[in-house]
A and B are shown apart, each in its own frame.
Chain A
Amino acid sequence: MLRQEILGELQEAAARGWLMEPQAKRLLRIAGLEVAQFLWTEDINEAIGFAREIGYPVVVKVVSPDIIHKSDVNGVVAGVSDDAMLNDVFRKMTRIRGFQGIIVEEYIHGIELIIGMKVDQQFGPIIMLGMGGTAVELYKDVALRMAPLRQEDVESMLYSLKSYPLLYGYRGSDRINIKALTHMVLTFSGLVMECSERVESIDLNPVICNATRCVIADARILLARK
């Protein structure tokens, strides 16, 4: 059964065909997934207030219905370290096509993963898990499975990655919180089954994992074409 609040988020974005980052994140939160702390605002004073509250450095991202890949238009700036820099970044972003404010978000240190889904014509909803970030399409270190997933599917997906040792603490680095990651993937699998009739694909990229937690730092949801 599709939850009413999730349906509402999907319907609101129906005309555009995809959910902008803050909308996507709202939906993911409703589904019980951990999303990085963020504020969506067009007011620089509000942005500065929030950045001070969560503490610098922060990540700043543009919100625009015209921009699907934000990095391609310099719409993502990490490591914004003080009020002056935030002010400067804000000013530049207002010039990006379709500007509808910025996201100010906590900066989280960790390994970048991708959790994705698409509706495959032959098999229906499938889930992808692997190494994320902007170079995801270069390395293609990912595992694919048909949804819904069981816990052992998630384990076998992680095990099949070339980067598997990185997740479990490689040469002195911390082991990431595998339990939190597994929980996130299984919760995501539930969401995927819930909305697979209305959604074409979802990218949670990056999902940042460290020793304590796994958090969705960016998300994109494309709606099914009628």
Chain B
Amino acid sequence: MNLKRLFQPQSMAVIGVSLTNELHPANVVYNKNHLRYRLPVYAINTRGGTIHGETVYPSIKDIPTQIDLAVIATKAEAVPHVMEECIDAQVGGAVVISGGFSETGMHGLQERLVAIAQEAHFPFIGPNCLGIFAPSYFDTFFIPSERMVVPDKGRVALVSQSGGILIDHMGKCAFEGVGVSMAVSIGNKALINELDMLRYFLEDPGTDVITFYVEGFAEKEGRAFVLSASSCEKPVIVLKSGKTSAGVNAVKSHTAAIAGDYDVFSSIMAQYGIVEAKDEYEMVAFAEALSCYKRTISGNIGIITVSGGHGAIATDICLSHGLQVPVFNEEAQQEIRHSLSPTVQNIASCSNPIDLTGSSTDDDIVAAARVLSRYETIDCIIMLLLPYIPGITMDLGARLSLLYHQNRKPIIAYVPHVEKYDMLIESFTLNNLPVAHSVEDAVHMAEAMKRYKRC
């Protein structure tokens, strides 16, 4: 099944637009695309008429141009017929927003829809979904634009069974400055499922990292999914819900009793180098880190801080997450000390964490990072940067980015995420260095690289 016209349409039709109810999901989709995007969009209602001065076509076949993407938002029982019309009109694919299928027990209706689509090799997403959000391109979400927190265009793909969770994740990405290549809610995943989305994004040149919110795979699809994910060059991050259900036939078999569904899931993700996120915060942090650094580290962290307390907390969190914070030998400590300015030299602590103190400046921070960048024993640097220290300037992100490009040693920054410090934060994000909103988050980012295994 070719998904290109579905995900990269040159034209779009919204089927089921109401002539009287501006809040109808189809109207929301039509309006936002019509008013905000450049993709040609056409409205369809069997009664015809006009909307905002534009023609409403009675059927897909009445539209004078070839349609790539049909958004179907009619009543459930009308969807099979509408899909047949789309197939006849050689539409490239559909997003079925309408609910009222398997999720409400109407399995027969959903099976009919799948049979129609399969026979015609016609790809569709849903039913019972939000569909596709492609930043500054098009959007099939029936949520008014003003109610959405929209991330920038970027290189992380988000796939979710649940539309609500997807919206949440998009908001968190926006807040953390993580750009999104595409966000897709697959709903009942009657035809297009996680595996199809994985395969599509593996090939998509606009996507570097692929994230999934999964409630569960259909029978044996988990196996196909991990085998595909592990054979690719792109990091795959998975967040699973439903972690507590019990295994089958647990009374008779020890293996079945112990190997519950979630334990199996989690173990297999790790076995195949797929990065499992425990919650949405980890997921967004993992996505940010892996979109900047697509590599595996063994987990030896060098910490540079301007506050002793922050260094101690970061060390604790590293150790509790299975990362190491190796203490530097005397020779290394001397080298670090000599790289610092005279004022700081006498008061800094140069073991690991390196505490440069509140008297340090950009120059000290960059100097210490430069020394650590050359150490083989350290494979990632976490920098705890508190902009209330007067020596830190807005240039720091750019300078550290330069350092990264010279030595290729991953640098993760922590900067408190308050509006006041936005310029400093952007000096990292715009230079493609990950910046965490908490110390714990910075450690999560390092952990992501440890969990990710390239094939």
Let me know if B268 and A205 touch, CB within 8 A: no
The reply to whether A153 and B255 form a contact with Cβ atoms under 8 Å apart is: no
Total residues of chain A contacting the partner, CB 8 A: 31
* Cβ of B216 under 8 Å from chain A: yes
Q: List the A side residues contacting B217 at CB < 8 Å.
A: 122-123
Per-position 1/0 for B339-375, Cβ under 8 A of A: 0000000000000000000000000000000000000
Cα distance A18–B253 when bound, in Å? 11
Provide the residues of chain A in CB contact with B267, threshold 8 Å: 126, 143-145
**Using Cβ atoms and an 8 Å threshold, which residues of chain B touch A143?**
267
Chain A neighbourhood of B248, CB < 8 A: 121
The B-contacting residues of A in range 100-158, CB under 8 angstroms, are 114, 116-118, 120-124, 126, 128, 130, 136-137, 140, 142-146, 153, 156
Most chain A CB within a 10 A radius of its CB, from B220, B252, B261: B252
Which of A68, A144, A202 is in CB contact (< 8 Å) with B264?
A144
- In the complex, which residues of chain B have a beta carbon less than 8 angstroms from the beta carbon of A61? none
Taking CB atoms, residues of chain A closer than 8 Å to B249 are 200-201, 222
Residues of B with C-beta under 8 A to A114: 254-255
Task: Report the Cα distance A209→B254, complex, angstroms.
Answer: 19
A133 to chain B, nearest CB (A): 10
Is the C-beta of B221 less than 8 angstroms from some C-beta in chain A? yes
In the bound assembly, the distance between CA atoms of A200 and B267 in angstroms comes to 19
The reply on A25 being an interface residue by CB < 8 A is: no
How distant is A212 from chain B, measured CB to nearest CB, in Å? 26
Q: Give the residues from 240 to 276 in chain B that come closer than 8 angstroms, CB to CB, to chain A.
A: 247-249, 252-259, 261, 263-265, 267-268, 271-272
Is B268's CB under 8 angstroms from A145's CB? yes
Distance from B240 Cβ to chain A, minimum over Cβ atoms (Å):
11
Q: Which residue of B lies closest to A225 (CB)?
A: B249
Q: B326 an interface residue at 8 Å Cβ cutoff?
A: no
Number of B residues near A (Cβ < 8 Å) is 28
Q: Tell me the chain A residues, 188-203 only, with Cβ under 8 Å from chain B.
A: 200-203
CA distance A156 to B256 in the complex (A): 21
Residues of A near B271 (CB, < 8 A) are: 145-146, 153, 156
A residues within 8 A CB of B254? 114, 116, 136-137, 203, 205
- Asked whether B376 is an interface residue with its Cβ less than 8 Å from the other chain, the reply is no
Q: Which residue in B223, B253, B263, B265 is a CB contact (below 8 Å) of A220?
A: B253
Contact in complex: B256, A118 (CB < 8 Å) = yes
Give A136 to B253 CA distance when docked, in angstroms.
11
Given A144-B259, A153-B271: A122 in contact with B252 (beta carbons within 8 A): no
Q: Which residue of B lies closest to A130 (CB)?
A: B258
| B226 in contact (CB, < 8 A) | yes
Closest Cβ–Cβ distance, residue A122 to chain B (whole Å): 3
In the bound complex, residues from chain B placing their C-beta under 8 Å from that of A128 are 255, 258-259
Taking the closest CB of chain A, its distance from the CB of B230, in whole angstroms, is 10
Tell me which of A122, A203, A222 contacts B261 (CB under 8 A). A122
Chain A residues 2 to 43 lying within 8 A of chain B, measured CB to CB, are 18
Which residue on chain B has the smallest CB distance to residue A139? B258
The reply to whether the CB of B219 lies closer than 8 angstroms to some CB of chain A is yes
**Which among A18, A122, A137 is the interface contact of B216 at CB below 8 angstroms?**
A122
Taken together as a complex, chains A and B put the C-alpha atoms of A126 and B253 apart, in Å, by: 14
Contact flag A122-B223 (CB < 8 Å), given A128-B259, A137-B258, A144-B259 = yes
Residues of A within 8 A of B58 (CB): none
Q: Across the interface, do B222 and A122 meet the contact criterion of CB distance under 8 Å?
A: yes
- CB-based nearest B residue for A205: B254
Q: Which residue of A lies closest to B255 (CB)?
A: A116
Residues in B whose Cβ lies below 8 Å from that of A142: 258-259
**Which A residues between 56 and 76 are near B, CB-CB below 8 angstroms?**
68
Chain B positions 204-233 with a Cβ under 8 Å from a chain A Cβ: 216-223, 226
Which B residues are CB-close (under 8 A) to A145?
A: 267-268, 271
Are B264 and A120 in contact, CB atoms less than 8 angstroms apart? Answer: yes
B218 cross-chain contacts in A, Cβ below 8 A: 122
Question: Smallest distance from the beta carbon of B25 to chain A beta carbons, Å?
Answer: 32
What are the residues of chain B within 8 A of A144 when measuring CB–CB?
259, 263-264, 267-268
B268/A118 in contact, CB under 8 A: no
Complex interface bits, A68-87 against B, C-beta within 8 A gives 1, otherwise 0: 10000000000000000000
Chain B: minimal CB distance from A86 (Å): 28
Partner of A203, one of B216, B220, B253: B253
Which of B255, B257, B271: most chain A CB closer than 10 A? B255
Whether B268 contacts A126 by the Cβ 8 Å rule is yes
| Contact of A116 (CB < 8 Å), options: B223, B253, B261 | B253
Q: Closest CB-CB distance, A143 to chain B, in whole Å?
A: 7
Return the contact of A118 from the options B219, B223, B247 (Cβ within 8 A): B247
Complex partner residue of A140 from B216, B253, B256, B258, CB under 8 angstroms: B258
Q: How far does the Cβ of A58 sit from chain B's closest Cβ, in whole Å?
A: 24
Whole-angstrom CA separation of A202 from B217 in the bound complex: 24
Q: Which 3 A-B pairs have the closest CB atoms?
A: A116-B255, A122-B222, A144-B267
Q: List 18 A-B contacts (CB under 8 A).
A: A114-B254, A116-B253, A116-B258, A120-B222, A120-B259, A122-B216, A122-B222, A122-B223, A123-B223, A123-B265, A123-B268, A124-B220, A126-B264, A137-B258, A143-B267, A153-B271, A201-B255, A205-B254
Known pairs A18-B252, A145-B268. 17 more at Cβ < 8 A?
A68-B252, A116-B254, A116-B259, A118-B247, A121-B248, A122-B219, A122-B220, A136-B258, A137-B254, A145-B267, A146-B223, A146-B226, A146-B272, A153-B271, A201-B255, A220-B253, A222-B253
